A and B are shown apart, each in its own frame.
Chain A
Amino acid sequence: MSQLIRMDSSGHTTLAEWTADDPASVEAAVAALRAELELGYFAVVSHGEGRAEQVRELPVDAPLVILRRPIAGG
Chain B
Amino acid sequence: MSALTDGTLPTEGALPELGSVYWRPRVTDASLRRTGRIWTTITVAHTVPFVAVAGLLLVLNPVTAAVALMALAQAWIIPELYAARGANVLRSRAPVDEHAERVSVGLLGDLLDDRARDLHRATGMVLERGALGVWLIGEAGAVLVRPGGRRVHCYCVKVPAPELPTGDRVAHLLLALRTDETGFATVANLAFSGARWRLSRRLKAPVRDALAPAVAAARRIG
A-side interface residues toward B, CB under 8 Å?
Answer: 5, 7-12, 37-42, 44, 46-54, 64, 66, 68-74
Q: Please determine whether A42 and B168 come into contact, CB atoms closer than 8 angstroms.
A: no
Question: B106: CB under 8 A from chain A?
Answer: yes
B-side interface residues toward A, CB under 8 Å?
Answer: 2-5, 13, 15-17, 20-21, 89, 96-97, 99-104, 106-107, 110-111, 113, 116, 128-131, 140-141, 155-161, 163-165, 167-168, 171-173, 175-176, 178-179, 181, 184, 187-189
Within the complex, which residue of B96, B101, B157, B172 is in contact with A7, where a contact is CB–CB below 8 Å?
Answer: B172
Shortest Cβ distance from B178 into A: residue: A52
Q: Please determine whether B172 and A71 come into contact, CB atoms closer than 8 angstroms.
A: yes
Shortest Cβ distance from B141 into A: residue: A74
Query: Are A72 and B107 also in contact (CB < 8 A) when A52-B175, A53-B179 are?
Result: no
Q: Please determine whether A52 and B179 come into contact, CB atoms closer than 8 angstroms.
A: yes
Query: In the complex, what distance in Å separates the CA atom of A47 from the CA atom of B19?
Result: 24
Query: Are A66 and B141 also in contact (CB < 8 A) when A40-B5, A49-B129, A71-B157 are?
Result: no
